[in-house]
Amino acid sequence: MSTVVALDMGSSAIAGVELKTGRDRVSLTKAAVEPIPHGLLHDGEIQQPNELAAELKRFWKAARFSGRRVRLGVANQRVVVRVIDLPALDDERERRAAVEFEAAEHIPIPPDQSVVDFQPVMRYEGDSGPRERIVVVAAHREMIDQLVAVVRGAGLQPVGIDLEAFALLRALQPPASVLDEGSPDTQAEAVVHVGAEVTHVIVSVDRNCHFTRMIGFGGEQLTRAVEQRTGLPREEAEAVKLACGLLGTPMEGWDADTVAEVRHALALGARPLVREVSRSLDYYRSQPFSRGIGRIVLSGGTSLCTGIDRYMQQGLGMQVVVGNPLGQIDDPGTVPPEVATRAAVALGLALDAPGGAR
Ligand SMILES: Nc1ncnc2c1ncn2[C@@H]1O[C@H](COP(=O)(O)OP(=O)(O)OP(=O)(O)O)[C@@H](O)[C@H]1O
Ligand SMILES: [Mg+2]
């Protein structure tokens, strides 16, 4: 039985999960989400490394995770993802050389300052022989070094770093069935993960990432919209946002006028989200390799805003559902949905561990 712990540090909270993997079962043994002070991370980038390391140390101790080994995710403007097409090569070394050569054209980070990784996602017959579509990820080395330093500063040992987008696909999408995998008829699916400050839009086919973009929008903008419209102080604006959502029966304690005001503020405040998601999907659709997008799966803290799925469905004119990040775990235990959706990235990172890969 192997144990894997993965962490996702966001602008509002740290999320962590512990999975135990037996011969053919994956069990979730711990999951925790704890708030951290504002300003330690911004748009996925570490702003205050020492304070963050101290928060991480506290978090780890309180959650009582096993050992010190941890898997981490990255997603910010200093990580670039591109999909490139190359003649298919079977020799791993030749392929890497070809990818690195081609990547230099597409990736705006000088090679001596970047860490490059890649994943072949499909093969197809081109005009002059077999070709391969490859997702290339390049990250600023300095940003990765800083992340590693923070985690080591908390007394932990990083044992793997992956793109948050890949982790989300593992958590939220079932593996393609052997029969359907690689079929040109398979539709694409989008994952939209809305946190406190950022939103990730990911388009995948057969659970492979074909496009990803980060949008500078999150629940924080919605709280600010409520604050501005109602004049309530921030803490109260946040509380009333959680209590009302966009639809449904609001929690008790708020009068009908306030609820109507808050919902109006949320509906106006969420417009940029719909606009930017729509733009991202249009960009994906404009690419020569694109497929029709069947539906959108939502996750992240802001997906807990009641009615946001309906709101986005109307705005985008396509099916939108709230995802279940525990869907790939055989024994999910009793994790409340609000913890699971905020820990979706951590869950996906943990699922990638050797023996835990799904
Ligand atoms: N029930 C709810 N209704 C509406 N919004 C909610 C609810 N619960 C949490 N949120 C919002 O979700 C956000 C936090 O989500 P999450 O934990 O995914 O963010 P994060 O990972 O810290 O941020 P980021 O990844 O953007 O840096 C906050 O803006 C919070 O207000
Ligand atoms: Mg997050």
Distances (CA, A) of 272 to 123, 190, 350: 36, 18, 32
Q: Which CATH number fits domain 183-324: 3.30.420.240, 1.10.3470.10, 3.40.50.720, 3.30.420.40?
A: 3.30.420.40
What tokens appear for 340 in the block? 């699971």
Lowest-pLDDT range of 177-186, 278-287, 303-312, 329-338 = 177-186
Please name the residue whose Cα sits nearest to atom 4 of ligand 1. Answer: 305
pLDDT at 248 over 90: no
Sign of the torsion formed by the C-alpha atoms of 217, 220, 226 and 229: negative
In this structure, the residues whose C-beta lies within 6 A of any atom of ligand 1 are 10-13, 195-198, 218-220, 223, 238, 241-242, 245, 300-302, 304-305, 342
Ligand 2: centre distance to CA 243 (Å) = 21
Q: Which amino acid is at 60?
A: W
Residue with CA at minimum distance from ligand 1 atom 15: 301
Protein residue closest via CA to atom 3 of ligand 1: 305
Which atom of ligand 1 is found nearest the CA of 44?
A: 27
33 CA closest ligand 1 atom index = 17
Q: Judge whether 79-140 and 183-324 match in fold.
A: no
* Cα 301 to ligand 1 centroid, rounded to whole Å: 3
4-52 pLDDT, tens digit per residue, is 999 999 999 999 999 999 888 999 999 999 999 999 999 999 999 999 9
* SS3 at position 206: coil
Residue 357 has a pLDDT of 40
DSSP letters spanning 259-291: HHHHHHHHHHHTHHHHHHHHHHHHHHHTSTT--
- Per-domain boundaries in the chain: 79-140, 183-324
Summarised one tens digit per residue, pLDDT across range 314-346 is 999 999 999 999 999 999 999 999 999 999 999
Closest residue (by CA) to atom 6 of ligand 1?
Answer: 302
Choose one of 8, 11, 12 to mutate for the ligand 1 pocket test, by most ligand atoms within 8 angstroms of C-beta.
12
Q: Is the pTM of this model over 0.75?
A: yes
- The CATH number corresponding to 79-140 among 3.40.50.1820, 3.40.50.170, 3.30.1490.300, 3.30.1490.270 equals 3.30.1490.300
Q: In whole angstroms, what is the distance from residue 133 CA to residue 117 CA?
A: 14
pLDDT in tens, 99-140: 988 888 888 888 889 888 898 888 888 888 999 989 999 999
Ligand 2 centre and the CA of 260: distance in Å? 29
Q: Which of 304, 308, 310, 341 to mutate to test the pocket of ligand 1 (most atoms within 8 A of CB)?
A: 304
Ligand nearest to the CA of 248: 1
